[in-house]
């Protein structure tokens, strides 16, 4: 079972920062998950929320900042790691950082709240420029975005995200052409989900796995990948289990 770091090494560095991704690579993760949004001047930045309020010392919508404005904010709000000032990274900067590694990069398109015109095409082109298309998995709760990726680039690795008990099945993945389903870990408790995916050859990658019990459940169900906040813990448990 593979381990991907949720928003980088979420537990050890400010989420979705270059430090978080570097640390995830150092910790030996097989991949990282990250979130993308678009600035006012059309730059793809790696940030989870539609606003900067929770994760930075600023306030406002990502869509209302230019890149140079948002770059001035400090995303190491809690000062939990060095350096004390961390910028929001662009997707290009993260790809540059991870290119020399073998990590898979799961790019989650945050297109469910703000409609970012053309973000799918733009992100695909960027990944292509870095020659990393075969290492990227595209996912979104907005399944139209996943479908768009697949229409623009049929060979792209894609996954449907689901959570909150919303019924998403392997059949829907097949319809969109997604090779994987990324369910919230609590949805693994519904046996029909794993059964349906197994039957159709759809991979399951689940998030966010935070306890020994959840890790064991994922293992027993033959889950392909766990997306975790604590990479070192997950590696330790899996190594011990083997």
**48 versus 77: smaller Cβ distance to ligand G3P:** 48
Cα 52 to Cα 46, 65, 108, 233, distances in angstroms: 11, 10, 17, 29
Q: By CB under 6 A, how many residues form the interface with ligand G3P?
A: 10
Residue indicated by tokens 């369910």: 183
23-41 burial code (b ≥16 CB/10 A, e <16): bbbebebbbbbbbbbbbee
Question: With respect to ligand G3P, which residue has the nearer C-beta, 58 or 112?
Answer: 112
Question: Pick from Ca ion, ligand G3P, none: which does 181 bind, CB < 5 to 8 A by kind?
Answer: none
The single residue among 3, 20, 35, 150 that binds Ca ion, judged by CB under 5 A, is 35
Report d(CA 208, CA 10) in Å as an integer: 11
Task: State the nearest-atom distance from the C-beta of 145 to Ca ion, in Å.
Answer: 13
Residue 46, strand partner residues: 36
**Is 108 near ligand G3P (CB under 6 A)?**
yes
CB atoms within 10 A of CB 43: 20
Q: Rule CB under 5 A: is residue 15 a binding residue for Ca ion? A: no
Is residue 15 close enough to count as binding ligand G3P by CB under 6 A? no
Shortest CA distance to 21 belongs to which of 100, 94, 109, 71? 94
CA distance 65 to 140: 23
- Partnered with residue 136 across adjacent β-strands are 105
Residue given tokens 């996912």 in the structure block: 139
- Assess whether 184 carries a catalytic annotation: no
Q: Which does 15 bind (CB under 5 to 8 A by kind): ligand G3P, Ca ion, none?
A: none
25 lies in the site for ligand G3P, by CB under 6 A: no
Give the residue, chosen from 38, 227, 228, 234, that forms a contact with ligand G3P under the rule CB under 6 A: 227
Nearest distance, CB of residue 96 and ligand G3P, angstroms: 22
Give the three-state DSSP class for 45: strand
Helix (H, G, I), strand (E, B) or coil at 92: helix
33 binds ligand G3P (CB under 6 A): yes
Which residues are at the interface with Ca ion (CB under 5 A)?
35, 108
Which residues are at the interface with ligand G3P (CB under 6 A)?
6, 33, 35, 48, 108, 139, 161, 182, 207, 227
Residues with catalytic function: 6, 48
């Amino acid at each position: 079972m593979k381990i991907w770091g949720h928003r980088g090494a979420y537990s050890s560095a400010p989420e979705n920062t270059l430090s978080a991704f570097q640390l995830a690579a150092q910790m030996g993760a097989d991949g990282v998950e990250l979130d993308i949004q678009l600035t006012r001047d059309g730059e793809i930045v790696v940030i989870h929320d539609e606003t900067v309020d929770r994760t930075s010392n600023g306030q406002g919508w990502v869509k209302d900042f230019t890149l140079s404005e948002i770059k001035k904010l400090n995303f190491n709000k809690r000062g939990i790691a060095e350096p004390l000032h961390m910028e929001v990274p662009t997707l290009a900067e993260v790809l540059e950082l991870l290119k020399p590694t073998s990590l898979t990069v799961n790019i989650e398109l945050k297109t469910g709240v703000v409609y970012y015109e053309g973000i799918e095409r733009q992100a695909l082109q960027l990944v292509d420029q870095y020659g990393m298309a075969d290492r990227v998995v595209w996912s979104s709760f907005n399944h139209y975005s996943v479908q768009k990726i697949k229409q623009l680039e049929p060979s792209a690795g894609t996954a449907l995200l689901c959570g909150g008990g919303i019924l998403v099945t392997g059949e829907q993945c097949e319809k969109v052409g997604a090779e994987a389903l990324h369910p919230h870990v609590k949805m693994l408790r519904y046996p029909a989900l794993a059964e349906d995916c197994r039957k159709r050859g759809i991979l399951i990658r689940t998030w966010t796995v935070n306890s020994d019990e959840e890790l064991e459940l994922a293992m027993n169900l033959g889950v392909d990948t766990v997306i975790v906040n604590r990479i070192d813990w997950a590696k330790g448990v899996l190594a011990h289990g083997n």
